[in-house]
Structures are given as structure tokens and as C-alpha cells.
Structure 1
């Protein structure tokens, strides 16, 4: 009895010297209270684009990259279950059968032997090391789920960017074809004027150069459209050269898209930010485990076994034993202290990364809001210019019909209007990209469907 009391006294002495880790800063510890689930509304529906909705539904279900990330979540879940196993005793059972032969001086004999046994072992979590490692695995599991959400946010935004890039090039090709027709008509007019000595050769050459410039733009747009189509096919897990089947419509009126109300505190709910937070918490628990590893470990073990030459007697003779052992580090050349120092440095590194990520996210959102507002103003100016250009077209058309103005002036006014349309189309495409970037930066409005979890 005195031996056990001495053993417990030694453990209590170590407990009195037990050094706890420093807690995380207060502002970080309060973050978890502010974390709530993101809005369930899917952000891309603000564009009211059925083709985009269909694209994303198919892509989210079929994309190979997302499927591989889902498997990472399963790996993290399995690791979590594994980390909890040391909290409970491990029990192993053994069964053995043997047969021995004896041959001596012409005499031979044999004997059967049967044995049964069970062994249990358990490490008492005196300093919380096992519990800390289990909690760390739990936070890593949560981080993997947030990583999956972050991947979905990035993925959906890339789908939207490529879809509107594809749609932009399709609309631009239609506009360029119209501009080429106008340029060709103007060339025919110049040729007629040249015959009547009302135009110079340089005018004809300049117009031909204009047509070639438009042809060059058409080739470029066709290549860009093909690149966007290939990217969409890959994201849909289809062959790169497979034909996209969509009802191609005009580029949407992005100016009517409402800018969401922004609360910077919601940036804490970004999946990538939450993932960093959970990784910080996991590392904090590993830091605690490194401190606990400096102190003695108490292990309990138990064995029970039986053996007999016959199966009917194997349960009659039993031998049981129970043992307790403590292992305490005495000299390790500073290895455990170095582990503690490294774990603390890693925790502080993740803390600084988390704070910087919040600042970067706030800056990204602020910049995009300014770009969106500026782009909207630019599009409004272009629309007013188009109104003026439309009046010019009507003016020159009426004067041409009454014979007061040359047909060429009407074609020139029509070309100016098409140039403005092309500028507005490009500006609308850029505004769409800004909106997509904003929703990606906010990373809210996406939540995996329950039936797909």
C-alpha cells in the first residue's frame, strides 16, 4: 500500500509543476460566438440566368475535383474517430492451438494444447494530451468541411466567369458581324464614288483596312469563345471538345443586378476564413498536447489467459494479472521543449495568418464595391451616348431618304452606334465579373444541398 501511495505522491508532484499553455487572444476566442451559418440562397441566382443555374447544378454534381474534396472530408472524419480511440481501453483476444510429438527409444506420443487469452491496455490521460489530440482532429474535420465549401465558392464563381465569358464572345461575334456588313456597304459606296471621281483611292484602302481589322477581331473572339467552352466542358467533367448545348441569349442586363448589403463582420463566415480559424484551434490543441508530453504517462494493462490439453478443460484454469506503469522523461536533449517551442510558434503563425486573411478579405470587398459603382456610372454614360447616336442615325436616315444627305453619312452614324454597343457589352461583361468577384469574396450564399451531403 505504501508503494502505491508513493507512486501517487510522485504524480501529484508533477501535477503541481504542470505548465498550461497560454490562451488565445480574447478577440480570437470571441470569434466562434459570431459564427453562424451562411445564407442558403445561391448567389448566382441574382443574375436570373436559367442557363447558368442549369450549368451549376450539373457541375456541382459531376465535377471530379469536388468529388475528390468530399473524399478528403471522409478522411478527416476517419482520422477524428481514430483520434478518439485512445480515450477508451484497447482489448485484444487470442486463441491458440498446438500439437506436440515425442519420439524416444521407439516410443512415440502426441499431445494437443489449447489456449485462450485476453489483454487490455489503457493510458490514463492525466494531463489531457489524448483529449487535446482528439480535439485537434475534431477541428481539422471542421476545417476540411469549410475547405470544401470554399472550393465550391471558388468553383461556382469560375463557372459563372467562364459562362459569361462565353456569352460575351457570342454577343460580340454578332455585333462584329453587323459591323462588318456596315463596313462592306460603306466600301461599296466608296467604290461608286471613286468611279464618279468623288472619292480617292486612299479612302478605299482605308476602308478595306477597317474591314480586315474587324475580321481580325472576329477570329480572336471565335478563339476566345472556344477557350471558354473548353473550360466549361472540363468543369462539367466532359470531353474538352464536346459541343455545349444551350439556348444562347443576349448578354444579361447586369446593371439591374442589386449590390448586396455588406457587413464586414460577415467576412468571418467566409469558409476559407473559418477554415483558418479551425486550423488555428487545432494547432492550439496540439500545442497543449506538446506541453502534456513533457510529463509522466500512466498506463494500465490487464491480462487473462487459460490453457489446457483438452477443449473441455480450457475454461477451468485461468491466470490473470493487472499492472500499472508510469513513464517519465528524464533526459531527451531538449527534444520535448523544442516540440513545445515549435508548436507555440506554429500557433502564433496561424494566428497572424488568420488576422491577415481578415484584412485582405476586407480590402478585396472594399475594392470590388468601388469598381462596381464606378463601372455602373460608366455604363450609364454609354447608354446616354447611345441615345444620342440613335438620334443621329434617325436624322441621317431621314435626310438620306429625302436626298439631302449621302448614304455614307448614314452608314457612318450606324457604325458609331455599333461601336458604342460594343463598348457597353464589354463594360457589362466586366461588371458581371466584378459582381462574381464580390460574391466570391463574401463567400456567402452557398450551402451544399442536404441530399448531396
Structure 2
């Protein structure tokens, strides 16, 4: 009778388990049907050129600059840390997905007991026990908690990869900007040195006129003052150049003073590059992609928190050989299969609070995503506006410089004819020389605004970056997935 009841109970339990499994509905994030951060359909300016997503700095046509950028991308300390964070995120992602697979552990035990008993039949008794076996465990993911954790870890990894891409874009832009500013400082040095020579010539002429009683001592003093003022402009320019070289060295992962840059002219921006549509920023800006992936990860975090409030079903199995001696170890064996259901009844509201916390994280990351999208759009519009108005500013400065040069020629003519004193000449000379230096700065600023535009538009060239560290135990596939060399089951995105 008992045997019959056991035979009937097994199919009944299996049937009940099958019904429970069929009734399970894994939690998944709700699909986002609306655009979280809608963008305008076009920028304020339009370009009919195709959108460029490659290495934009190569268009400047300077091989040395290309080498500086590539060196920085391979050796920059911030990128080195970013690669390390990516490897950490990859390991965490593998750990997050480990619950999808069974666990298998090897066990071994040896026990030696020696006892003594008094009496007629007393004596020393020695007992030994040897055992070896395997233990396996697996949690049936009834509600999708394990899957949600794995998806969250994968998305966090991909977001970290996008953060690395954003850092790489920043490094490339900073290297190009420093290079442009170094060339600008050198151009200023040449102009100031030329101005010093010009002022020295003016001073010699005035001193000659003074010796011939044609000019006054005041004219001489004023020109000496102007010469001293121009000479004082040179040290700050040289200092700034050295500081920029030091900053460039740091960007390239080298000590200050170890980087030299050949002289070159500051290029002027060509026609407006291809801008595409504002919606393209969602795919071309790594910071936007990272924010979107972080938001998706938070969505899966809510699913995991909700599933954690429901019972979990764990299956466990053990197989073990035992023997009193090593020679008889495999003569006796035992096999155990067990299932356990664990469900929360009272936890003081901990799991419910965890769901509320996860939903608040979603709200936070949704706000961060919107902010990142609109910041990206703003940066493009800012760069376009700066470049547009900078071009007009340079046109006005050029006209002002030409007018100042005409005024200087007229003032010199009147002064040599004895019609005016030296003050109009001095005023016109200072205006011309000040505008010459200003033009160098503003032409460089125009190119820096173009660099800002390239950075704001983003690109996909960072997808080809690889970890320069030989100690990396992960490789990033072309599609952004993790390929593990240690674990057969990589995390696929």
C-alpha cells in the first residue's frame, strides 16, 4: 500500500510542478513607446555634405598631428583607467549571468577516529571514513529574476564601453585643441618679434629726429614706452606655449617637457561639415548611447526587484562515494536529488522598498538621459552659432585692422611733414599691433569652434579602439559583445 502511494505521489508532484511552471510569467520591462527626449527635425544651419563619423582630425592634413592623436589614444592615463573599468564591468557582467547556469562543485572528505574503551573487551578502536563526490545546484528562473540581472549586467557593460568611447573623443579633441593653440602661440611670437623690430626702427628714427631738433623728448619717451610694452608681451606667450606642450605631454601619457611639436600654420575651417539630423546624435554620441543603456539597465533592475518578491525554486543534487578504506571507496555510493521552494512571508517591507528604489533609479536615469540628449543638441547648436558669428567677427576685425593701417600711414606722413605731433602715430601704431595679435587669437578660436563642432557631432570611429593592455582577459567583439577566454558562456548583447 505504501509503495503504491509513493508511485502515485511522484507523478502528482511532477504534474503540479508542470502546472506551476506553465503559470509562471517572467517579469520584463515595459516597452517605451514614446520618445523620451524628442529633438527638433533639423539644426539651425544646413549642410548638404554627408555626415562624417570617422577620424575628423585627419582632414587637417598634418601627419604629425595624426601621430599625436594616435599616441594619446593608446597611452592616455584617463583612457587606461577607462579600459580597466571596462574590464571590471565585463567581469561583473559575467558574474551577473552566471546564475543562468547550473553550479557543480567537487567534494572530498576524510575522517579518522580513534577511541579507547575500558573493560574486559575494552581496547583501542580506530575508524576511518573516506568520501568523494559532486554537488550540483540550479535555480529555476520562474519569474525572470536571474535573466533580468544578467541583462542588467550586460547593459551596464555596454554603457561602460560607451563611456570609454566618450573619453576617447574628449582626448582626441583635447590633443587637437592643444596643438592648434601651440601653433597659435608660435604665430604670436613671430608677430611680436616683428613688432619689436618695427618699434626699434621707429625709436631710432625718432631719436635721430630729436638729435636734429625735429622731435621732442616726449616723442622719444613715448616710443620707448611702446617698445617696452611690446617686449613685455613676449614672455607670457612663451610661457603659455610651454604650458600647452606640458599639457599635450600629459594627454599622451608622457612626462612634461618630453614632447616637441614642429611648427605649422593654423588651418582655417573648410566648408561646414555634414551635420545630418539631430536624431543622428542618438547613434553618434557615445554619451547619449551610454545614458540610454544605463536607462535600460535600470528598467531590468525593476524587473529583477519585482521577481525577487516571489518564491524561488532551487534544485540540488549530490552524488557521493564512501568507503572505510581507499580501496573500498567506490564500493558504496549515494545519490540525492532535492528541490526547495523559498518565498518571502515577512521581511519588514525590504523587498517592496527595493522595488520602489529600483523605480526611483529609473526616474533618475530617465532624467539623466533627457539631459544628455538635450545637452548634445545644445553643444552642436552652440558650436554652429559660435562659428557663424566668429566668421563675422573676423571680417569686422579684418576691416578694422586695414583701417588702422591706413590711419597709421597717414599719421606717419603728417608727422614727418611736421603737421602733427607723435601722439597720433603712437596711437595708430598701438592699434595696428594690438589687432595683429588679436587676429591670430581669433583665427585660432574659429578653428577651435570647428573642433567643438566635430566633438559635438560624435562619430563611430571609437568602435575600432582596442584595449592596449596585454593583461586584458576580455576582448570586445565588433558588435560590442563580451567574449570571455575563461568562461565558455560569454555575454552576448
Question: TM-score interval w.r.t. the shorter chain?
Answer: 0.7 to 0.9
For residues 84 and 411 of structure 1, the distance between their equivalents in structure 2, rounded to whole angstroms, comes to 77
- Indicate which of 71, 77, 98 corresponds to 2:84: 71
Alignment partner of 2:233: what SS?
helix
Q: In the alignment, which residue of structure 2 is the partner of 1:207? A: 223
TM-score by length of 2: 0.80
Q: In the alignment, which residue of structure 2 is the partner of 1:378? A: 393
* 1:271 to partner: Cα distance: 0.2
Q: In the alignment, which residue of structure 2 is the partner of 1:34? A: none
Q: In the alignment, which residue of structure 2 is the partner of 1:158? A: 174
- Indicate which of 414, 429, 441 corresponds to 1:426: 441
For residues 327-358 of structure 1, the C-alpha deviation after alignment (integer angstroms, 9 at most, x for no partner) is: 11111222211111111121022112211221
Q: Does 1:368 align with 2:387?
A: no
For residues 222-264 of structure 1, the C-alpha deviation after alignment (integer angstroms, 9 at most, x for no partner) is: 1111111110111122212x243232123x2314364333421
**Most deviating of 416-425 and 367-376:** 416-425
Q: In the alignment, which residue of structure 2 is the partner of 1:263? A: 277
1:29 to 1:128, Cα distance in 2 relative to 1, 3 A: farther
Kindly report which structure 2 residues correspond to 1:320-331, keeping only aligned pairs within 5 A, or say none: 320-331=335-346
**Most deviating of 322-331 and 193-202:** 193-202
- Indicate which of 318, 326, 330 corresponds to 1:315: 330
Do 1:14 and 1:295's aligned partners in 2 also have CA atoms closer than 8 Å? no
1:48 to 1:258, Cα distance in 2 relative to 1, 3 A: farther
Kindly report which structure 2 residues correspond to 1:118-133, keeping only aligned pairs within 5 A, or say none: 118-133=134-149
**Most deviating of 376-385 and 259-268:** 376-385
Do 1:90 and 1:122's aligned partners in 2 also have CA atoms closer than 8 Å? yes
Q: In the alignment, which residue of structure 2 is the partner of 1:351? A: 366
Kindly report which structure 2 residues correspond to 1:44-55, keeping only aligned pairs within 5 A, or say none: 44-55=57-68
Do 2:246 and 2:259's aligned partners in 1 also have CA atoms closer than 8 Å? no
Stretches of structure 2 lacking an aligned partner (at least 5 in a row): 1-8, 40-50, 468-475, 477-493
1:210 to 1:396, Cα distance in 2 relative to 1, 3 A: closer
Q: In the alignment, which residue of structure 1 is the partner of 2:94? A: 81
Q: In the alignment, which residue of structure 1 is the partner of 2:13? A: 4
Q: In the alignment, which residue of structure 2 is the partner of 1:27? A: 35
TM-score by length of 1: 0.86
- The alignment covers a number of residue pairs equal to 441
1:302 to 1:29, Cα distance in 2 relative to 1, 3 A: farther
Do 2:320 and 2:334's aligned partners in 1 also have CA atoms closer than 8 Å? yes
- Indicate which of 207, 211, 234 corresponds to 1:218: 234
* 1:49 to partner: Cα distance: 2.3
Q: In the alignment, which residue of structure 1 is the partner of 2:133? A: 117
For residues 385 and 316 of structure 1, the distance between their equivalents in structure 2, rounded to whole angstroms, comes to 104
1:201 to 1:390, Cα distance in 2 relative to 1, 3 A: closer
Stretches of structure 1 lacking an aligned partner (at least 5 in a row): 32-37
For residues 255 and 100 of structure 1, the distance between their equivalents in structure 2, rounded to whole angstroms, comes to 87
